[in-house]
Structure 1
């Protein structure tokens, strides 16, 4: 019942967003070589779009077309639902450009918002028509205005699902400094205990959060070792209050104990999960908790730290990520496609999908995860992530067949969102 309530509430969010968008009454008949419908490849399908909806999809002659229709021939191309980024930070940019600390301390919120607008555009043009943004990292509630600006057609960008500030335990997160009396930016909202967490969850929801993100662990142990932050009871409080609004909770968790507490508390997805174990992933499967591995972020940070693939031994961080991802697949855990983009460049979201294939997930399953899988996980099943009648017209095409070569996603030829064409090469 709780998950049904969440799905209904999130559907209202996406439908409201659509109502603000610029209207487009043009009808298009798209004729690619093949269509990935969100589940499987369909040869020689055509797709009819009118306004902001898919009207029909199927083989030629299986549906009628209106007299006034614009036909777009797409020889050699595969048509897919717009891709869905499951873990992004539009208010961050790669740490090899400016460190996370300096982005918080030396970039104004005005600058960060302008950057975020550019990042949103790059995301859309890369074929990712929906993005789940999991925290502004010190930019307060500026993602609310960014989302509204996209919905109103002021700037181009993907549909946004936003977490606003995220929640951390006091003292566990933020810019480290050697002068205790200095009050430096935290990067997220600090809250503790039942009353404090109830107040913070309700505040973030009231300000516009579509979901709540908590940090179930972080590098606050001795020697910056990652350790659990919130108690199990605190996490249960966050989940209970969030669920009462029809929303869900995601948890940053990389340690075995942090993951265990978050799973038992009832979070919707685990983000990162680098040190999961077979037992932990079996528990995730049992409880219906999905896993967002963020492989691309781990690889990017290793590269920034000097790792040279091909000549240097693989860092322990990468070995562990490969191991945990394999264990999650073996346990049958639902995989969320999300790379923690912002740690690496916006517009290169496809890196995560390529890494998922490299780490052992079949390409067709990666495509499912990045479309219909993420849509179902986020409560948008049948609205986005699928090529089917009445779905929103979020559509992309690529040259070639991404089920055979995932790297074709690097070169998107056409991007349509809400029935409006934003890119056509």
Structure 2
């Protein structure tokens, strides 16, 4: 950890589990004491520590060690999500990445039955919601095409999250978890004026996020057409 920090790392992220077990099975990659040391060193340097974990034991160890978020959680259980909720560990489900992988393997939504991996992922996400875990947004874009990131919010809603909560996960919740709530994530004087306007009401229909009509970055309009002229006036 100190070596990575010395080379300029702002965040510490570790693989708390991986496909290195017998026959490629997922197993924890660090001992609990090692995870504790990782978090302690990161915090001593003023840096957050987060964990990739897909299976219950890696997630459990990460939550107990004090990582701020756990990414993926493909096979998360009610018990491990209850532990995360109790210890204030947020969950970044990366639903779109899991769906994209199954599409690459040949799955065609609406034509083929849902793959077992996605059925499990859906159950995991619902367990997280039932436990009251804080849900943040991270799509793992790059596993699928950059620019199609709205897929993550759409899937969150499809899997049971309210549209408003999905929007908050991608804005104010993410800002807090990134330790940037004093700069981004809300519409408020003094924060960066990074805004989009869409055609429709995304708090009712999350798919309206794809109908972007206005883009403002740091108060400057980058996209807007006729809207741009009206805003400028």
Alpha-carbon shift at residue 253 of structure 1 (Å) = 0.2
Give the TM-score taking structure 1 as reference length: 0.52
- The Cα offsets for residues 255-303 of structure 1, whole Å up to 9 and x where unpaired, read as 1111111111110100000111111000000110000000000000000
Give the TM-score taking structure 2 as reference length: 0.94
Aligned counterparts of 1:324 and 1:212: Cα–Cα separation in 2: 25
Choose which of 36, 60, 65 in structure 2 pairs with 1:260: 60
Aligned counterparts of 2:201 and 2:175: Cα–Cα separation in 1: 22
Alpha-carbon shift at residue 423 of structure 1 (Å) = 2.3
User: Is the partner of 1:291 in helix, strand or coil?
Assistant: strand
* Deviation >3 Å, runs of 4+: none
Bigger helix share = 2
Unaligned runs of 5+ in 1: 1-200
Contact 1:382 1:388 in 2 (8 A): no
Tell me the equivalent position of 1:38: none
Q: What are the residue-to-residue correspondences of 1:224-303 with 2, within 5 Å?
A: 224-303=24-103
Larger Rg: 1
Q: Which has the higher contact order (CA 8 A, sep 6+)?
A: 1
Tell me the equivalent position of 2:128: 328
Tell me the equivalent position of 2:230: none
Aligned counterparts of 1:375 and 1:321: Cα–Cα separation in 2: 25
- The Cα offsets for residues 23-62 of structure 1, whole Å up to 9 and x where unpaired, read as xxxxxxxxxxxxxxxxxxxxxxxxxxxxxxxxxxxxxxxx
Aligned counterparts of 2:58 and 2:82: Cα–Cα separation in 1: 15
Aligned counterparts of 1:297 and 1:324: Cα–Cα separation in 2: 15
User: Is the partner of 2:52 in helix, strand or coil?
Assistant: strand
User: Is the partner of 2:112 in helix, strand or coil?
Assistant: coil
- The Cα offsets for residues 306-336 of structure 1, whole Å up to 9 and x where unpaired, read as 1111121111100001000000001000001
Bigger strand share = 1
How many residue pairs end up in the alignment? 225
Alpha-carbon shift at residue 247 of structure 1 (Å) = 1.1
Alpha-carbon shift at residue 208 of structure 1 (Å) = 2.5
User: Is the partner of 2:128 in helix, strand or coil?
Assistant: helix
Tell me the equivalent position of 2:160: 360
Q: What are the residue-to-residue correspondences of 1:54-93 with 2, within 5 Å?
A: none
